[in-house]
Structure 1
Amino acid sequence: MDVDVALLEGRDAGRRQAWGEAHALLGAADAVRPLDTADVELLAEAADMLGHGDEAIVLLRRAFSAYAEEGAVGAALRCAYWLCKGLAWGGEFAQSGAWLGRARRLAESDPGCQECAYLLMLEAELHFRAGEHAPMIDVARRLDKAVGAGADADLVAGTAMTLGLALVSNGDTAAGLAQLDEAMVAVAERTMSARMTGMIYCVVIGTCQELQELSRAQEWSEALAEWCAAQPDFSGAYRGLCRVHRAALLQLGGDWPDAVHEARLACDQLTAGYGEAVAGCAYYQLAELHRLRGAYPEAEQAYRDTLRYGWDTQPGLALLRLAQGRRPTALAALRRALAETGEPMRRARLLAAAVEVLLAGGEAEATEADGDGGGDLAEAARAADELALIADAQGAAALRATAGQARGAVRLAEGDAKAALPALREAGRWWRELEVPYEAARVGVLVGLACRALGDEDCAVLEFDTARQTFERLGAGPDARRAARLTGGGRSVLSPRELEVVRLLARGRTNHAIATELVLSEKTVARHLSNIFVKLDVGSRTAVAAYAYEHGLLGPDGSA
């Protein structure tokens, strides 16, 4: 082969971001004659973008050593940055730290080198990974001062990204988002490397999702989709993480089949030997989609895979346990997670799930278990109040919608349907504006329950039926079946005696107490309960109590 032609064509392919072509041509040329160091670095980028992480690491080591021998300290430090990142992606944190140490020693030989800032970016990331937010912002500010106008495009954009993430982590959300937007503006100029572009997309979209800045996340996600479409060879770890973010946004937007497809691809890409450090988030996203669709065995396995790859399974696993009728297990898990979590946005997700689980049991389970019939409701109210405080502090529309939804659900459970409606109406408006149909439909169910409690059955049925149609379109089987039951009102399903049993059970009565009050034998009460379980298609006393509350079978104060 003509090596010089292969080199020229390989370099051109790299500039066009035709990674498969660049990798083949440069690799073939390297097999005949060792590449120049710059070409080795380009071949490493092509390998990285194709998902050949182990090969990229070998090439980056080679490029780092060659640049160092040539006295090109800046170029060597740039390679060290991507080398340390690549090792961390593969879970090789000790080796990543060792190479960072070697790079620091090299940087001492040329302390005025602009690329020394790459090491500050790595240092800031180490603080972030360890949850050390105050040291991270100190390093990020030093980085911002160190990077001047003459720095390369990767370093300028990476600095804005790092400072933005540090500001967000330290509670200065507005300033942090402004910096992240600066990084995205730099991405739009298309002057930086593909690796840095992919990383910035992932960090910015992931941070926006974490902050519930859904409109911003969607905007940047659409730009990411266009960028990915322009380079179909891009299939590395960053592509896998990009797929996770895309799956989450597709889920929110109501395109669940495509979301499942993206999540599965992400799981495959991130477990192909490179990117396993973040594979857990892909499995968590897949588990959430399975749970919402009612595919509980598949969700169970995906949550197990989430944990296997070192990712937290909450609050999703707790909500799966609730759906499986294991409310005490769900509640214990959420209480444990909240006890060890101080980060506001993480607490917000847990608090929203805790309100749902706490309200799901009615009074029966708490009364029989520990005599604290109102304890769960009071705890749910406290959780909703804390969630509201976080929403006010952060200001994101989605978080405000979540908080309003929780507040309305608590007011409804307290028997104050009139007070529940304003919060629920506002939450529904937020979700509709954000184009999140599943949550909007869930709020619609709560609005219907409030209308039913206030005697407006016609409006209630319309709300339930509208929600049912949305759930069916999405494929949210469990929610669709519940909405269908609510649409029918459910009052004719049970006999008058069974209704009496349901009311007493919902007020926390044991079988013995029900038998005494209705002048029946306990055996007869047990038979009534068995029939009730079959008619309502439920499997626990907790679910029967929830049914009573949902269908307005109790008075505002919980009386029959």
Structure 2
Amino acid sequence: MTIRDAPVVDWTGRFDGFAAAEASLDAGELDEFGQAAWFVGRDEVSERAWERAHLRYLDDGDLAAAVRCAFWLGFTLGEHGQFVKANTWMARLFELCARGAGDPRIEAFEAVLRAHATFAEGRVAASEPLYRHAAELADAAGDGDLDTLATMGRGRALMVLGRFEEGVAALDRVMLLIGTGRVSDRAAGPAYCAVIASLLARGDLERARTWTRELGDWCDAQRGLEPFRGECTLHRATVMQIGGEWDAAARAADHVRATETRTDTLANAWYRLAELRRVTGRVAEAGDAYREAARLGREVHPGLALLHRDAGELDTAWRGLERARSAVNDPATRAELLAASVDVAIDRQRIDDAEAAAAELATWADAFGDVVYLRALSARAAGEVAVAQGRAAEAASRLRTAWMLWRRLDAPYDAALTRVLIGCAARRAGDEEGAQLEFDAARSVLEALGAVPDLARLERVAAPSGPDGPAAGLSRREREVLGLVARGWSNRQIAEQLFLSERTVARHVGSILAKLGVPSRSAATAYAYANGLAPSA
């Protein structure tokens, strides 16, 4: 059974039904009531119901069910940051497990608990074989939930230990277990989030995108779902941003920002909002969001550094990147810091610094050879350095490789930025026509996305070298728009002709008026005819 085949579960309806009959519920029904309450975000009701179910199971002599109920209560309390209560329940669980020695299900629970406790103490290497043993016991006992949690824990431990191929294999197995239908919804949700977080930290966008789609299908099948609005929604927003779905990503991140209470998740929501505001040119709002994320304890580079770069504050940007690089080591974030360092160093005309950052980025990409995202960042950085050093042929080769990798990842923004650099390489080789074709291709994508700062950088880069006569300062696209304005076309007509949005055309018209120093469209038309910029027919 696939996720898409799973029936829709109405947790709101279940919660309401159990709540109406709460006084008469037996142990199993109280257990289900606790699960329904957890799914609809009624944590205090969930905790109370599971406590009562646990005690009722003990009264009924069902030790295995009592252990399972207490396990999930402790697990969910820990997930919500209530560590004192969680640890109290975990200690209680060890006592109960000692009473149930010889029961395969209880032994599997105890093994998972010991592995979790060892990992939480920071003894990651020691936790890996414990997780492996726990998964074997859970599989033998036929408990898909415990098998999933143990395998998920082992995968995370392997990733931390640098045994990435084994770690990814374990995480893939988690997803396959969920697909078999042997895993309950209460185990599937945390597993999805943990797997996607691990993959994004590694930069494995291909797998993260696949499992994010599966997570979306799973969430759609859970009516009334609440617990996974936070970090998991942000994982989805990250994938959507990379895929060019900026409006949807912004809505998702803003929803988390407005509803989340956990500090780490809230900080991540502010950072994602800051990134989306930065790339769309909302400078003041982006700065506010970065400051809020920093206040909550989140690292705000490379995003903040790129905001400073766009404002021309290059030394400030470089200092922020240097500090962040000294503290961050997870693969994806470090690679992004190094890629930003290449950009800023070249803008500062410190080519040696750019070359050093690109070389370190290449080392990271080589260490994770199967991660396309890291390879794409590295190839683009190497090509950017080659452009700056005048090695046009090498730059073109590396940048074409990067562009194909971004296309493979379906990452239109990064692909467009790479085409700008390909245009620069073509210009270095003396091919101005080829350069302008690349610039035009990049411009179309950036305009569609609304990437205002990058469009401004592109227009500065794309302006032909040498004197430009009466149209000096107008980009190629602006000259096209001016020609159509001179024909008397409206913004809507121009937008349809050039496959742009009316908002983009209006922005171009405003820029044209400002650059030509004229007050109106009619004055711009007169200027165009007086200076030979109007269409001949």
Calculate the TM-score normalised by the size of structure 1: 0.77
Partner of 1:470: 445
1:63-462 equivalent positions in 2, closer than 5 A: 63-113=53-103, 114-118=105-109, 120-121=111-112, 124-125=115-116, 132-236=123-227, 238-271=228-261, 275-362=262-349, 376-395=350-369, 396-462=371-437
Does the 8 A contact of 2:380 with 2:402 survive in 1? Answer: yes
Q: 1:291 to 1:42 in 2, by over 3 A?
A: same
Mapped to 2, the partners of 1:323 and 1:55 lie a distance apart of 49
Q: 1:436 to 1:115 in 2, by over 3 A?
A: farther
SS at match of 2:182: coil
Pick from 11, 28, 32: which aligns with 2:20? 28
1:141 CA drift (Å): 2.6
Q: 1:129 to 1:411 in 2, by over 3 A?
A: farther
Measured on the aligned residues, the alpha-carbon RMSD in Å equals 2.7
1:483 CA drift (Å): 1.7
Aligned length: 466
Q: 1:44 to 1:494 in 2, by over 3 A?
A: farther
1:27 CA drift (Å): 0.7
- Aligned sequence identity (%): 36
Does the 8 A contact of 1:493 with 1:535 survive in 2? Answer: no
Does the 8 A contact of 1:147 with 1:156 survive in 2? Answer: yes
Mapped to 1, the partners of 2:111 and 2:291 lie a distance apart of 36
Partner of 1:17: 9
Paired AA for residue 179 in structure 1: A
Paired AA for residue 492 in structure 1: P
Partner of 2:28: 38
Q: 1:34 to 1:128 in 2, by over 3 A?
A: same
SS at match of 1:239: coil
Mapped to 1, the partners of 2:57 and 2:411 lie a distance apart of 50
Mapped to 2, the partners of 1:182 and 1:253 lie a distance apart of 26
Mapped to 2, the partners of 1:127 and 1:317 lie a distance apart of 36
1:81 CA drift (Å): 3.0
Paired AA for residue 347 in structure 2: A
Mapped to 2, the partners of 1:94 and 1:322 lie a distance apart of 44
Q: 1:323 to 1:488 in 2, by over 3 A?
A: closer
Calculate the TM-score normalised by the size of structure 2: 0.80
Does the 8 A contact of 1:89 with 1:277 survive in 2? Answer: no
Mapped to 2, the partners of 1:119 and 1:320 lie a distance apart of 49
Unaligned runs of 5+ in 2: 1-6, 474-513, 517-537
Paired AA for residue 133 in structure 2: R
Partner of 2:522: none
Does the 8 A contact of 1:469 with 1:480 survive in 2? Answer: no
SS at match of 1:192: coil
SS at match of 2:382: helix
Paired AA for residue 143 in structure 2: D
Does the 8 A contact of 1:263 with 1:286 survive in 2? Answer: yes
Mapped to 2, the partners of 1:477 and 1:329 lie a distance apart of 21
1:466 CA drift (Å): 0.9
Unaligned runs of 5+ in 1: 1-14, 363-375, 499-533, 537-560
Mapped to 1, the partners of 2:341 and 2:84 lie a distance apart of 38
Paired AA for residue 300 in structure 2: T
Partner of 1:480: 455
Q: 1:450-491 deviations in whole A, cap 9, x for unaligned?
A: 111221111111111111110111121111222233333264
